Chains A and B, each alone.
Chain A
Amino acid sequence: EAQVTQNPRYLITVTGKKLTVTCSQNMNHEYMSWYRQDPGLGLRQIYYSMNVEVTDKGDVPEGYKVSRKEKRNFPLILESPSPNQTSLYFCASSLAGEGRDLFFGPGTRLTVL
């Protein structure tokens, strides 16, 4: 089954404790992206990747890191989480090229205390 998977689905952590949210897709998509969703603010792009070893900042990259060592994986790293990073995070992927529709993962709900 074609899908985007994220782990963990739920996470409660404390300020400053490094964490990684994994994202994997099995559709051989070149493009992958991370979004955060907050009430009243919609979906905001954090980072995206056009292909392996190619990543770039989205609209809200501060406090986040990403890597793209393999085509299928695009982990999101929070080196020192803070409470303002409490949010619902979505990973998404698509084929390369303009106008390609995004496939979203199920989401990761993160709470930073």
Chain B
Amino acid sequence: GQQVMQIPQYQHVQEGEDFTTYCNSSTTLSNIQWYKQRPGGHPVFLIQLVKSGEVKKQKRLTFQFGEAKKNSSLHITATQTTDVGTYFCAGPGRGGADGLTFGKGTHLIIQP
């Protein structure tokens, strides 16, 4: 099935610094989704990107979909302690139109 690679696996930042996680696929993705999982919690949907070159913002979070629709990024400006968690990207997977294949996630650790 389709795979999405996500880097870095871990990212330590000082509170107030920026953070970026990257997601790459060897094949063109029809769409990509991003999820956040707080420590001890479950993944929660953040956003979906569909169009080539699309950029979406949610407050301090900026999501981008590459022009070739093979990569995506999530950038957080001026991190806060509430941003702690694991961020996953997910693309269409084995389940055809209804399945998702997740990247391994980036763990964001924030030092006060």
A102-B43, A104-B42 known; A97 vs B101 contact (CB < 8 Å): no
| Interface assignment of B80: CB less than 8 Å from any CB of chain A | no
Q: Is the CB of B42 within 8 A of A45?
A: no
**Which of B14-22, B61-69, B90-98 forms contacts with chain A?**
B90-98
Q: Render B72-112 as a binary contact track against A, CB cut-off 8 A, 1 for contact.
A: 00000000000000001010111101111111110000000
Interface Cβ pair total, 8 Å cutoff: 80
Q: With A101-B45, A107-B42 as known contacts, state yes or no: A58 contacts B98, CB within 8 Å.
A: no
Contact A99 B50 (CB under 8 A): yes
Q: How far apart are the CA atoms of A80 and B33 in the complex, in Å?
A: 35
Question: Which among A48, A57, A90, A102 has the greatest number of chain B C-beta atoms within 10 A?
Answer: A102
B11 within 8 A of A: no
How far, in Å, is A43 (CB) from chain B's closest CB? 4
Other-chain contact of A102, B30, B45, B50, B92 (Cβ < 8 Å)? B45
Q: What residues of B have a CB within 8 angstroms of the CB of A74 in the complex?
A: none
Residue of A nearest to B104 (CB): A42
Given contacts A45-B93, A45-B101, A48-B99, contact A98 B31 (CB under 8 A): yes
B1 at the interface (CB under 8 A from A): yes
Extra pairs beyond A94-B98, A96-B97 (19, CB < 8 Å): A33-B95, A33-B100, A40-B104, A42-B104, A45-B95, A48-B95, A48-B99, A56-B94, A56-B95, A58-B95, A59-B93, A90-B42, A98-B31, A98-B92, A99-B31, A99-B33, A99-B48, A102-B45, A106-B41
